[in-house]
């Protein structure tokens, strides 16, 4: 990806279990081989039941989150209806594609809960949209996805549940995947931000990287 050539990066992970989505990302902001900040927030709440986890250029992540928050509010005010997670993903896809000649250098995981249940969408800088049950993006993604793919099947028997124990197991898996990536990816580290998205709101947490 282009952000690897620029010396920026991140590790962001998302998965769903039952009617809950868990998104996470580490907090390191690196550029050109230097650590610029150890407290960068890369998980953004853009709606009361939709969030984004991002990897790439930090300024682009923030800009996208602000654009989406504004566009979703405008859509809901003008239409009088609540936006679906798929609708938010398609809206973001159109925005990203409109910048195809000067793209935002970022990969995104859009996760949320609506009347149809929990959804995870993975997006590239040009707005391609893929729905999945779990995903990892960023420079640490190859390591993180290995952890997710190994342990997510153990959650499958309970993937239709959203009880407290199942959700905590999903959170622990996201944290474990990001920690594994940070141990091998120099562009990832310094803490983990988590967003737990439910139909009644978003819970945010922070974990140490170790």
Structure tokens at 143: 């390591």
d(CA 35, CA 185): 13
Q: What is the DSSP letter of 19?
A: T
d(CA 125, CA 56): 10
Strand-pair partners of 71: none
d(CA 88, CA 206): 25
d(CA 207, CA 191): 6
Strand-pair partners of 28: none
Q: Name the packing angle between helices 141-151 and 164-184 (round to 10°).
A: 150
Distinct helix (H) and strand (E) counts, the chain: 5, 12
Residue of 8, 11, 106, 139 marked catalytic = 11
Q: Going by C-beta distance under 8 Å and a sequence separation of 6 or more, which residues neighbour residue 199? A: 19, 49, 113, 114
Task: For residue 11, indicate whether it is catalytic.
Answer: yes
Alpha carbon of residue 70 to chain centroid: 19
Strand-pair partners of 37: 29
Give me the active site residues, please.
11
């Amino acid at each position: 990806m282009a952000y690897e050539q620029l010396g920026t990066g991140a590790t962001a992970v998302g998965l769903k279990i039952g009617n809950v989505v868990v998104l996470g990302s580490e907090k390191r902001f690196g550029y050109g081989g230097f650590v610029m900040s150890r407290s960068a927030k890369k998980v953004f709440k853009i709606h009361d039941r939709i969030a984004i986890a991002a990897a790439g250029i930090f300024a682009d992540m923030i800009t996208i989150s602000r654009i989406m928050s504004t566009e979703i509010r405008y859509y809901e005010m003008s239409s009088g209806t609540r936006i679906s997670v798929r609708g938010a993903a398609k809206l973001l896809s159109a925005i990203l594609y409109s910048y195809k000649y000067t793209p935002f250098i970022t990969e995104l995981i859009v996760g949320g809960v609506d009347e149809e249940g929990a959804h995870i969408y993975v997006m590239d800088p040009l707005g391609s949209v893929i729905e999945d049950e779990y995903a990892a993006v960023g420079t640490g993604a190859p390591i993180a996805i290995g952890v997710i793919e190994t342990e997510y099947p153990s959650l499958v028997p309970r993937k239709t549940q959203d009880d407290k124990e199942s959700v905590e197991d999903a959170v622990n898996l996201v944290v474990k995947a990001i920690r594994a990536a940070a141990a091998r990816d120099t562009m990832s580290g310094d803490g983990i931000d988590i967003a737990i998205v439910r139909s009644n709101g978003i819970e945010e947490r922070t974990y140490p990287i170790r």
